[in-house]
Structure 1
Amino acid sequence: MIDNQLNWPKDNFENIETAWEGDLWDRRRLGEQLTSYVDRLNCGAVLALDARWGEGKTWFVRHWAKHLDDTQHNVIYLDAFANDYLEDPFLTIAAEISQTFKESEEIDDDEIKDFNAKTASVLISLAAVIPMIAAKAGMHWIGLGGAGEAFKEVYEEGKALYDTASEEIAAKVKEKIEKKIENHQVEKQTIHDFKKELAVLAGKLDKPLVFIIDELDRCRPDFAIRLIERVKHFFDIPKIVFVLVMNKPQLSQSVQNFYGYEAEITADYFEKFIDLTIKFPNLEPYINYENVLKEELYRIGEMEHKEALNEFFFWVLALQNYKNFNSRELKRKINQYAILKTNDFRKNLILIAFVFGVEFSKDLKIFRLVLSKLVEKFNLSFSDSKFLGNIIISKLRTEYFIDEFHIGNLYNKQVTLNEKYVSVGQQDAKELYMLETYTPFAIQKLKHSDDFIIDWKNYVESGFNLDI
């Protein structure tokens, strides 16, 4: 095996052994608060857990589900995105609840069979939209996988007849619609009986059933809406708490684009089905990013151990605090760096900056803004930005015993460059100074100082250095 072979860690959510292990964002506190909250929700509820892309929604609810299971709660986790090939999620939700009842000591087999029978009755009612209409209109088959496929098979078997006997089809359509109207009260009673049976069985549970539905914002918009509607209309009963996990603005935008609704209408529509929205708390950024960086830099070999803070750590921390990536974006940047890293430490300092999308400019503006993030982290102050590099160098040397800060020295040289070479007649001397300054940090041999940024951008984009 190659010594420096990379191995990206994959989340194994199906086999979590210890809840909250690797919790870098203090999410356990939120999980425990939510647990205490749902324990009091005997009335049942539909909650929305709202967080942006990359903030760890799935990590949180998976570990929370493990925590709930460890504390003898009834919990179901459903990946909505993995099921959005279905037209209607009713059967999936009901089947998951039925399985939980089956595993419960409080509910016997006969009661579960009765519940399943009532589920089947509701399913037939939901799927009783004429397959011929769907077929002729080019629509998806209505139903929940099994029921929809059954209708589809009936249609396929008689497809030739249906396609040729249009008048007969029209008559059958009329007949079915009339029957649908006649059976309306029967169907209402069927749904009522289902909810009543569900409420009786859920009431026998010693603790509320927590049903977590993840990845809603990745689903087909029509499936996401139907799922939320089904939850509220059929399953919103005492002792069942649904937790809908989503990026609400993103889901609203998807629905808006799909149906052409106005943003306000879409947002108001969702609020009709959700009792309470819980947003991920904004945690103090520096501490949490430090924890993530320690984990990630140790993983790729840039730190000897997680507390061995070095120049590379502080430089990446400054870049992160400047760019403010979320957790997922930050990890992707670190992984990209790990693939592209060289055997030269100074070059790697520049590489990580370009991977983060920070380009060095001759006017020092970006450089100064990035380094100022370290000054803020250290609670330092400065009267003149030209002393910025020396202030950080002194802090790292005295408090963290880091003897050399290459980035600080590079900043100081750029300050000297801007102060010393100001006249037109000094351009040749300025170019020589810049070549001398940049060469140790360049990815390729420099013919001109302008090539420094160009070469690095090309390397990061292509991943190849022709000089190696």
Structure 2
Amino acid sequence: MKIKLDDLAIDKDDPFKNCLFNREKYADILNKVISNYNKNIVMAVNSEWGTGKSTFLRMWQQKLTNTGFLTVYFNAWENDFEDEPLTALLGELSAIQPSSKKNFDKVLDVAKNFAIEFLPAAAKGIAKKYISEDAIDIVESGLDGSSALVKKLLVDYSVKKVSLIKFREEIGKVIKNLSPNRPLVFFIDELDRCRPNYAVSILEKIKHFFNVSNIIFVLAIDKEQLSHSVCGVYNSEKINSKEYLRRFIDIEYSMPNDSKENYVKYLINYYQINEDLQNNDKHFRTKEEDQFYHLIWNLFHGFNLRKLEKTLGLIKLSLISVNSEKIYPEIHLLLIYLKLEKPDLYNKILKKKFSMSEFYKELNDLTSFYLKLEVGIEILEFHAIMMICYGNYLSPTALNEFIHSAVAEVQSLIQSFKNLQPIYGHQCLNANLETFIYRIEITNDFNIA
């Protein structure tokens, strides 16, 4: 059984082979931009969280590698356990070519002038992840017994300014040595998921420490979320955070919102939902299966990719509990939609807060919503089966009492009852919302990250 979605495989020879959104054309455009620069630029690929930026970055990175670019990938979110991002940024560069060790030693020796927390012995264990043992020892020995001097350097502006120039010279030599003919492309992913102060610190380090030729930074961001991080760091909603970000970002590319239909089909196939439908009821008709898929798309296509993944996982879990009971696609999926998007309404249904007349009014209020979804049946027939399900859920007599009420609209509903058997089968008059709610509520015991 598959519930957790595996990372999409990236073919080294054909990186966009498994791309579900035909995004290689965007990588081609960005390649042309990068190929025309050999100086320092910072490019942002902007798209909302959950739209597949990370997968796109990985595919694009591999495509660049295949065409002769040297690239570095850094997941900022996975590394924000450190307070000083400069350690990690330098470490990623150091790791790609050990022959540059001597140059890195010079860089580190200069870097000690900027932050006392950058190289203390307590951080040695973390630094080993990125920097050679010898390099750590060289710098660490330079700090032995000199904390007073380092503290003085931190407040001595002129010394820091000279050191910064020297740092840039040395890091420039490292980058030139690593990639002499083309710019080195440094990808920074998940920046908008980091702690606000860590995300802003990374931007500042890129701006001040890596402002050298032959390196291009590519930031994957949700600009809206990153703007909130800026406001959080400065503890003010009045700061013009988007203008602040322009100080650090030279080129912004907003990744187009692609059709998610292929992704929905991929998730349905990946979670093997067709097997759950077919194994549940040998009388489950092709038409109903098609309607199930059609409603998944119509109900959930507005969700981002991460939320789609989670929703399809929940649908999978809800179907596991089905034995031989008939599945009514539009009821099953509509309740899941209400649980996710209209929880107040869903909980009132769950707790039987509506009378039959009130529930009927709620259905009528949602008529335009159903019509937009193109549920595949007449609205009155859908109202009729929903009233049967809720009535049987409310009490053994609730449906009959409602049918015999004086409500004028009930007469057209009674006529619709006659049309239900050809659509839903002969057992439809016994359908009970409790069955559907049980299937859905069992998913509360699971959490799909």
Q: Do residues 424 (structure 1) and 406 (structure 2) align?
A: yes
The 3 A distance-change label for structure 1 pair 125 and 143 is: farther
Maintained 8 Å contact 1:54/1:328: yes
Maintained 8 Å contact 2:86/2:202: yes
Instruction: Give the TM-score normalised by the residue count of structure 1.
Output: 0.67
- The aligned counterpart of 2:225 is 250
Equivalent of residue 295 in structure 2, options 292, 315, 318? 315
CA distance in 1 between partners of 2:382 and 2:160 (Å) = 75
The aligned length equals 382
CA distance in 1 between partners of 2:51 and 2:270 (Å) = 20
- The aligned counterpart of 2:246 is 271
Q: Secondary structure at the match of 2:327?
A: helix
State the 1:13 CA deviation: 6.4
Q: Deviations over 1:351-387 (max 9, x none)?
A: 222222277963444354234244xxxxxxxxxxxxx
Q: Secondary structure at the match of 2:20?
A: coil
CA distance in 2 between partners of 1:116 and 1:415 (Å) = 69
Q: Secondary structure at the match of 1:9?
A: coil
CA distance in 1 between partners of 2:182 and 2:149 (Å) = 47
State the 1:212 CA deviation: 0.5
- The aligned counterpart of 2:309 is 331
Equivalent of residue 353 in structure 1, options 334, 349, 358? 334
The 3 A distance-change label for structure 1 pair 415 and 238 is: same
Equivalent of residue 106 in structure 2, options 104, 118, 126? 118
Q: Which runs of 5+ in 1 are unaligned?
A: 103-108, 133-140, 159-171, 375-388, 393-404
- The aligned counterpart of 1:397 is none
Maintained 8 Å contact 1:364/1:414: no
Q: Secondary structure at the match of 1:78?
A: strand
Q: Do residues 56 (structure 1) and 60 (structure 2) align?
A: no
- One-letter amino acid of the counterpart of residue 110, structure 2: V
CA distance in 2 between partners of 1:119 and 1:43 (Å) = 20
CA distance in 1 between partners of 2:118 and 2:127 (Å) = 16
CA distance in 2 between partners of 1:319 and 1:239 (Å) = 48
- One-letter amino acid of the counterpart of residue 329, structure 1: K
- The aligned counterpart of 2:20 is 24
- The aligned counterpart of 2:172 is 199
Greater Cα offset, 430-439 or 36-45 = 430-439
Maintained 8 Å contact 1:73/1:207: yes
Maintained 8 Å contact 1:84/1:220: yes
Equivalent of residue 81 in structure 2, options 75, 78, 85? 85
The 3 A distance-change label for structure 1 pair 176 and 294 is: closer
- One-letter amino acid of the counterpart of residue 175, structure 2: A
CA distance in 1 between partners of 2:236 and 2:125 (Å) = 26
The 3 A distance-change label for structure 1 pair 372 and 100 is: same
Maintained 8 Å contact 1:43/1:239: yes
Map 1:356-367; keep pairs closer than 5 Å: 356-357=337-338, 362=360, 363-367=363-367
- One-letter amino acid of the counterpart of residue 335, structure 2: F
Instruction: Give the TM-score normalised by the residue count of structure 2.
Output: 0.70
Q: Secondary structure at the match of 1:233?
A: helix
Q: Deviations over 1:405-446 (max 9, x none)?
A: 6x77843857999xx97971779989988988899979x999
State the 1:350 CA deviation: 2.0
The 3 A distance-change label for structure 1 pair 84 and 300 is: closer
- The aligned counterpart of 1:292 is 263
- The aligned counterpart of 1:94 is 90
Map 1:108-257; keep pairs closer than 5 Å: 109=99, 112-128=100-116, 145-146=126-127, 178=152, 184-203=157-176, 205-257=180-232
The 3 A distance-change label for structure 1 pair 372 and 240 is: same
State the 1:219 CA deviation: 1.2
Q: Deviations over 1:118-177 (max 9, x none)?
A: 221233112337999xxxxxxxx8999449x99xx99xx99xxxxxxxxxxxxx998765
CA distance in 2 between partners of 1:130 and 1:463 (Å) = 46
The 3 A distance-change label for structure 1 pair 181 and 246 is: closer
CA distance in 2 between partners of 1:194 and 1:173 (Å) = 20
- One-letter amino acid of the counterpart of residue 406, structure 2: V
Q: Deviations over 1:70-105 (max 9, x none)?
A: 222111100111111112111221232234455xxx
State the 1:340 CA deviation: 0.9
CA distance in 2 between partners of 1:414 and 1:303 (Å) = 24
Q: Deviations over 1:376-409 (max 9, x none)?
A: xxxxxxxxxxxxx7xx5xxxxxxxxxxxx6x778
State the 1:333 CA deviation: 0.9
CA distance in 2 between partners of 1:277 and 1:263 (Å) = 23
- The aligned counterpart of 2:36 is 40
CA distance in 1 between partners of 2:73 and 2:189 (Å) = 7
Q: Secondary structure at the match of 1:310?
A: helix
State the 1:229 CA deviation: 0.6
CA distance in 2 between partners of 1:426 and 1:281 (Å) = 50
- Give percent identity, aligned residues only: 23
User: How large is the RMSD of aligned CA atoms in angstroms?
Assistant: 4.5
